[in-house]
Structure formats: structure tokens, C-alpha cells
Structure 1
């Protein structure tokens, strides 16, 4: 009898342990669901909040600084007649690999949803050089309504070199890949180093700043810098690309000619815009980040997103500037008589860690939708993309757990090619395009 009693006590004890274990599992599952729900609420940037007070809009004011024509002309007189985009593309010496020829690791950085319409990875030597990383993209679809620059369809991507690794001469520099997109199956590209004229055009230096956004509008390329400079935007002229004459590690004038750390072409800045209130602060001007072009406004506008730490509590701002309609100021922002450019629209979003921004007015909508691409998730490595307006936000869901981290890994900026209906973007290893219609469908 004692023996049977011990069995009954063990069975009762086992049953009790099973009940307690089941309760613990249920509580753990509930806590996980609550935690996931709270995380989703925390990451949902919600509706955009319009910023209209003078204190809010005044912090976004830019002051224009154009490089004197005599400085640019002196540099051109010394280096030789400037060339344009066609000359650079004709001299392309690298080739993009089609998505099918990319490694599994490279393809894994593409969006989970929507599916890409085009995807490329870089020349193997460039892909292996991890000190250089891309962050921004713009196209000839931004530059002109018909999407063609000269005789070419062109894609530009902006890259920045690490400040701590690689050859000392290259650290912190910025360069642009000029991609000839006329042959979609085998696009070729050439590098152009971004520079800044110094000493009245008698020399130049490399642009030592991390670039995070680019827009090609008419004949100008506007580039955001987020480190190393107080300038919000640098301005480059696509018709003022200069050839170097010497192949060496130096950057600038050298005995016998001009060098750029081995680059055949350099593009000297023709101007810049700086926040009137100074460097970015939590209560003042934003830290400039992503850029894009909106052709759905009159006049066309430059849209911008603020860079804020992805794990911080600071909410980002989204805003826009009007482009000038003066033929003598092609590609420049609209300014007053004192050279000041004011934001014509601004919002606050609860999003942080913004890497890409786009503004587009969808059919039937009363106002533009803002597409916000965000930093990668530390869990699965993919970023998120949200569509926001003043009423709320929508996001894509993917995978068995219905995650909303469906966008590219280490995502870059966004650029809408109106003539093709495609949105171009990039990961840290791939250049790709998705149809805007498919992107909207994924967002619900």
C-alpha cells in the first residue's frame, strides 16, 4: 500500500508540475505577445504632425553659399575644359553583376517584400572593399521628366569611406558611381570623387564627410553631409566634372598636374547650403539625412528627412524646400534676396533612424504620402518601410511571424523614377528597384 501511495503522490506531483509548467508557458507566451505588441506600437511612427510655428520652421532655414564663378573658372583653366556625364559613362570601367550572378549573402540583403523588379550587385573588387559603403541613390529620372540625361539613362549612387579602416588617404572621403543604365542586363559604371575647391580655385580637397542623401535635379547634384561639416547640403554641377592627370595617392595639385588618389574624374562643389541657426541640435536645426525629389508639387520640391539615433527618444522631422524656377538658377533652391531658403512644409514623425524618405501624391489622395525607410532590425537584419500622412501610418508585413522588418538590410535612400514607375534604393550590398504600385500594395 505504501508503494502504491508513493506512486499516487508522484503522479499528483507530476500533474501539479505539468499544470505549473503549462501556466508558466502560457504566461511566457502572453508576455511575448504583449512585448511584441508593445514593440510594434513603439515602432509605429503614427500620423504626421504638421509643424507651423515660427520656432519650428525657422530652425529649417538654409543660407545659400555659392562658389564664385572666378574660382571655378580658375580651376577649370588649370585642369582643362570640364566634361559632362556622357564623357564619364563612355569611360566606364566597372560592371554591375545581375542579381542572378550575385552571392546568396548579397541577395539576402534585398527586401523581403515587395519583390524587386531589378537587382544588381557591384563589381567583385568593389564588393570586397568593405571600407566603402553606399547610402544614397538618385537617377536621371530625377534630373528630367523624360528620365534621360543627354543620350543616357543614368543612376548615381553615393558612397562614403570608413574613417577608421583602409588606406589613410581615403578615410572619410565620398565618391559617386555613375551607372550607365541603357543596358539593363549589364550596366557599366565609373567612379567620380567628390571634391571642394580651395585657395580660390588654385587647388581642391576631398569632401571629407559622410553623405546620406542625394538628388539630381536638372544639371545639379545636391548631397547631404552628416559628419565633418556644418553644411547641410553640398551642390555639384554635372557639367563641371574635371579629369585628373596624375595617378597617385595625393588629392589636389601635385608636381606635374592634378591627382585624386587614383580616380580619373573629380567633381568640385559649386555651392553649399548651411542651416542659418548653426549645427544640428536637439532643439534647433536637424541633422540632415535622406533626400528625394517630389515632382508632384508646383514648383518641384526637395524633400528631406532628419537623421536621429534609431534607439533614441528624439523624433525626426520631415520637410521640403521649393526649387527655383529662375532659368539662371537651374537646379538650385528658391531663395529670397538675402540667399535664404525656407521650408515650405514640415512635419514631425515618431520615426527614428530614418535612412530613406520619399513624398508622392497617390491617386485620389488629398495630400502627399511620405514613405519612410528605417534602419535595419538587430533581430533579422532587415529595415522597415512605412507610408505616413496626417491620418496615420501603414507598413508591410512579411514572414511567418508577420514581422514588419520587410525592407532592405542596411537600407539607403529612395528615388522615384516617374517615367518607369519604379522606386530605386539600395542595401549595403545591392542596388535595386521595385515598382511603386507593388510597394503600395505591400503597405496595404
Structure 2
């Protein structure tokens, strides 16, 4: 899952308040009509008003809003093999722009909101695979971490990591600085892992150097880099977790604890793993904890493809696509013993890939959206609306049927109407679209 990116925190969910209108009753036949209200009557009125408001709060919390309508808008109709999407403001005009990436082109381009004019960021980059945004110098325009030279065979995948920076005019090609070369570098993110208000760069290679299809049996290391004062200087690679096995497909940044530190969730053959940094400076170390094994079957139908953290009111949940490139949409809820209970809410995807969460209907319960790459066929967009705060019941709706083989997904308010919209990029459908939320305005 990707949100509107400029190294900002995940927006808080605001529980809607519904106030019921209540009119005063007419006086009884024996009651004297008077403009005066006694002290006892004031107390009674206050008690009644409190009860009405409490009931309204309860109703708002217990009765979720229904599904909303989405209108599809084409950003790019011809982007062969669309793979990854990023939403971020690239020209400092307050509007979120869109970057669409495909490994079939050597050009990386962004599309300017609202007219979606195309601008080239970088050229001559073979095997583009992923990107992430963060404003490192505070000029209001983010730098971009980009990964290229990717291949599913480690021996053919140098795994180049770049930092892209504009040179005054973001509509012109950006300057690329090489950060690292790590075989099969596949997914990238920015996170403040130690709470010092400075972001670190996270790099998740897909497989180990000796891994081969179909089981990809080898260890794969999740790593990070501190940003050097001189961006052209060496970026020291540091290990987060070198015990992961098989495929490491996605790394997601989350606010897991009630502090300034951001944590990481990874999805891969091992399942869903939580990575948290403790300590600081030279004493910083990582605690890595398996939260869930995901789909328990032999590789390659193992573990998880992607994971997103959402909230049902105050309750945290995890949404996942399982297994790797799998058919299941899964929800995990936490019990009182910190164990995660697995629940498959849909098993009809042909080839799932990424998953996102967002409160699309403004009821304080975050919903789920997942794409379907459909194994080279024509997929659809799948929404799942939370029916209560338990995470048990979900209402499924299909949008843009057979017109979006979604590989990459992002959630953001694209048109500034305070509704969360969805952006997807399609592989077989070779398109990039944003889905306008036509529902009630959601306070965020």
C-alpha cells in the first residue's frame, strides 16, 4: 500500500459525530405555557440531550456507512506492463501528482495533476521496479529513491539503487546519484526508524543470490541506509534482518508503537514480519518478530504478497494478499494475548499483488482495496467495506470490471474534496487510472 508520499505521517481517522435533531413537545393540557424553565426542567433537558448525543455516538460507532461509488479517470492509456505507482506532490503546488513505473520502458515519468501532462524524470534505466519519495532537503519537492536493473534471476539482476533530485525545474529530467548495487533490489521505502526526525532508506531485495525458481531457496537480507551529508558520497549498507527466506516481496512503513519511531512490516514466503529498531546511534539494533505465517503451503504458494495496516476505530488490523501473487484477501485481528487471528475474506483473485487501506466512506472504519493482475488477463478492482469494528464482516464490491489488471496501488485525495481516492496501474491492461470517490465527504 502507498499513500500520498512526502515522508508524512499516516492521517488520523476521525470518528464522525451524528447529532439527532429533537423538537420540544407541546405543553400538556393542564400545563401553563410559560417562557420560564425551572431548575428541575433544565436538569431534565440536559439529561435528555446527553442521552441523545450518547445514542448518536453509539449509532455512529455501531452502524457503518455503506459502499461508495467510484468514477474511473484515465491518467495514461498506454503504459505497457505497468508495475508500480507513487503519489506525491512533485512541483510544490499542493496537488498530489502521480508517478507510473514499468520495467518495459527505460524512461521514468510523472503526470502532473490535474491535467496529467507527462514529464520525464529519468532516462536509460533498464529494469525499473520500484520507487519511494522523501523531501530530504526541505525544499518542498521530494527526492525519489528508485530501483532499476531488476530481474527474477539473481545472476542477471545487479539491483541498482538511485537517488533522483530535481535541478530547479521538476518538469525537466532529474539528476540521478547511485546509492548502492545489491542483487535483486526490488522494493524501497523511507522510514524514521530511530525517531530522530530524519528518514532512513529501506531496501528489500526480492531473493537471495543463490535462489532459483520455483522455490527460491536461499536467505535474503532486508537492509537500510542512513542518508549521508554528501548524497554523492558512500551510503553505508546496514542489515535489518538477514534471516528471511525465499521471496521477500514487500516492505511497508507503519506507526506501530506510540512513539516517534516508525516500524516495518514485510511480506514474503516467511509470512508477515514486524521489524522494530531499538536503541540509538551505534547501539541501534533490530527486533524482528513473526506476526503471522500467512498462507501455509509449500513454496511458491507460501506466505504473503503484500500487507497493509489499518484501523477499525481504535483497533488495529492487518490486510494481506496471500500467498505470494495469490488469490486470497486476508484480514488479521489481534486478540488479548497479542496473537493475530487469520480470516480469509475473499479467495477469488486470479493473481493478487498489492493491497491498500483507507476510510473511503467516512465511518471511522478503514476499508480495503486490492488489485488483480489476473495472470496476464483483464482484472478488476476489489473493495471490501468493514461492517463493524470486529474485522469479521466485510462487504465486497467490484469496480472497473475487467478494465484494470492492478499491479500497483495508492490511496490519496487526488482532487482535494476531502475524500480518499485510489490510484492503480495495470499490467496486462497497460493503463494508469485514478478512481474518484463520489461518496460522502470523509473528515481525515
TM range (shorter): 0.3 to 0.5
Q: Which TM-score applies when normalising by structure 2?
A: 0.44
Structure with higher RCO (Cα < 8 A, 6+ apart): 1
Q: Which TM-score applies when normalising by structure 1?
A: 0.44
Bigger CA radius of gyration:
1
